[in-house]
Amino acid sequence: MKAAPPSAFWKKHSVIATGLLLTCVLGTGLYVFFLKQPSAHAADYPVHGFDVSHHQKEIDWNQIPKQKYQFVYLKSTEGGDFKDSRFQHNWLTAREQGFLVGAYHFYRLCRDGAIQAQNFIDTVPYKSDALPPAIDLEYDSTCIQHYSKEQLLNQIQIMHDRLKNHYGKQPIFYVSKSFYNLVLAGSFAEVPLWVREYQDLPDLKDQPHWTFWQHSSQGKIPGIHTSVDLNVFYGSKREWNQFLEQNGIPPQKQSAPFIQQ
């Protein structure tokens, strides 16, 4: 077979190389647009909040714009005996600054629900104007085999019931899509869900609605020096006020719209 002239060879491969380069650029652009924009739909929801723990260290609550963030959840406890070192300070200061505040517990899959409920109750004050307690349910590789699925659901039920009875509010479950679909689907139909999903809108098996959506773990908020989890409420401001009234919390007054600087 006769070889092509050198000029033709380089011309041909230059065209191929250019095509490959354009394909890579286009592919990268699409990846960035679709996968690196986890908050793309969050702006569709008018009620925004965030959640923090000791990992955020010292927070200047006075700097956080209350007209933009209507609620905050604070880590209070974990397992049967861990208490977040910043919880009490954050709880008092955030409330003094006028934020709507709730507490969440990181559930250890190999600890009894009653012990974990008592840890939370011993730590989180009873306040009628607080947001409902939240239970963070996630995979724990060191604990996942401790109980059968039925036993685990029973222990979660025990904690759920004790918090509901003590605080007089329906607790919320914080979940990933995978944990919900594999463990919780078909159970706890009455429990509002707070879903962690950074790539798209929450999509849960047999559950068309969610209450809160944690849409990013890389938020930047004035007064907080580290990245922070960002959340939105499912619904309008009117529905948000209905949610508050259902939990014995006075509706929020309408404030001036937040303008991004």
Integer Cα distance of 124 and 120 in angstroms: 6
Helices (H) and strands (E) in the chain, counts: 6, 9
Active-site choice (58, 78, 96, 138): 138
58 noted as active-site residue: no
Q: Nearest to residue 46, comparing CAs of 222, 196, 201, 231?
A: 231
Cβ 116 vs Cβ 106: under 8 Å? no
Among 189, 175, 83, 93, smallest CA distance to 137 is for: 175
Rounded Cα gap, residues 97 and 54, in angstroms = 19
Task: Give, in order, the Cα–Cα distances in Å from 106 to each of 71, 247, 248.
Answer: 19, 22, 25
User: Using CA of residue 7, residue 12, residue 18, residue 21, what is the dihedral sign?
Assistant: negative
* Catalytically active residues, by annotation: 138
